[in-house]
């Protein structure tokens, strides 16, 4: 008869009270229902917010960067461009708000590429959930970052002397319009996050996309002062139309044409880029 050792066999391990309790805990009377698209999307949005909770340093770009940009441009260039910092602040703040939030959209592709390189998205694709949920949820979670950047920029502007003629309603309408456009633009960076090989590459290429969009616009100066060729680009630049709508809403003078142009651009971007993103996500190996 073989001698018993101090090590338990597999059968003995399965017979322990702990193992029995574990089997009872995971036993299911019926198969769980598949989560709805809304439920799955909100779960992934919450996951994006938990990343901020566990790594609060991620908020530096949405809290510190808007402050630096606003102070730097107002007090370095305000006197030279507008004659006074107070006058330039009224012109600049809606534009710097747009720039600060649009720069934040880069991190959508960056964090997605990070998850891909770690193999996290391969696990998501194996789950019985609505296929776009991980991407749409991440985009919704990032809107919280955009909102924080908006609040920080507006509060600083109010402290410095910015006075929106459109009041609270105009400011809120401007922020909502900016969030809608930022959500649509984020699809560009999700595509970059899916096709590029590293997070650093995503960051570098994304900035190459954003720099001409934001600086070659009416964020900082009146396009009438620019050369003719550059004016042609500025006029068709969607960021120019967005900044014009933001200034109009916050000043209380916005026309429906300006707002409608931005909304149409957001719908077109989403309608074109979202299917491309999902196709890349589905076929990525």
What residues does each domain of the chain span? 35-283
pLDDT at 185: 94
Q: Which two tokens stand for residue 46?
A: 């919450």
pLDDT confidence of residue 2? 45
- Determine the pLDDT at residue 192: 93
Model pTM above 0.85: no
Q: In angstroms, rounded to a whole number, what is the distance separating the alpha carbons of residues 88 and 281?
A: 44
pLDDT at residue 15, rounded to an integer: 60
DSSP summary character for residue 202: H
pLDDT of res. 177: 95
Cβ-contact 116, 194 below 8 angstroms = yes
- All residue ranges of the chain with pLDDT < 70 are 1-15, 25-32, 285
CA distances (Å), 90 to each of 78, 161, 248, 252, 285, in order?
10, 8, 12, 13, 50
């Amino acid at each position: 008869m073989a001698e018993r050792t101090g090590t338990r066999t597999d059968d003995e391990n399965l017979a322990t009270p702990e193992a029995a309790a574990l089997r009872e805990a995971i036993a299911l009377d019926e198969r769980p229902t598949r989560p709805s698209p809304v439920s799955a999307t909100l779960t992934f949005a919450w996951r994006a917010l938990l990343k901020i909770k566990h790594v609060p340093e991620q908020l530096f770009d949405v809290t510190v960067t808007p402050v630096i940009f606003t102070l730097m441009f107002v007090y370095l260039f305000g006197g030279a461009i507008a004659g006074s910092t107070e006058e330039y602040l009224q012109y600049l703040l809606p534009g710097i708000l747009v720039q600060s939030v649009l720069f934040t959209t880069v991190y959508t592709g960056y964090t997605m590429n990070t998850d891909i390189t770690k193999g996290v998205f391969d696990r998501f694709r194996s789950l019985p959930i609505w296929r776009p949920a991980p991407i749409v949820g991440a985009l919704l979670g990032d809107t919280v970052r955009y909102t924080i950047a908006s609040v920080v920029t507006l509060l600083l502007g109010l402290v410095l002397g910015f006075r929106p003629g459109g009041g609270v309603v105009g400011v809120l309408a401007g922020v909502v319009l900016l969030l809608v456009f930022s959500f649509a633009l984020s699809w560009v960076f999700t595509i970059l996050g899916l096709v590029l090989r590293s997070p650093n590459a995503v960051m570098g290429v994304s900035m190459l996309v954003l720099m001409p969009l934001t600086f070659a616009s009416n964020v900082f100066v009146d396009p009438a002062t620019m050369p003719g060729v550059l004016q042609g680009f500025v006029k068709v630049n969607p960021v120019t139309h967005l900044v014009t709508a933001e200034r109009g809403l916050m000043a209380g003078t916005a026309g429906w044409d300006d707002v409608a142009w931005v909304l149409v651009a957001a719908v077109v971007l989403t309608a074109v880029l979202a299917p491309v993103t999902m196709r890349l996500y589905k076929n990525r190996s």
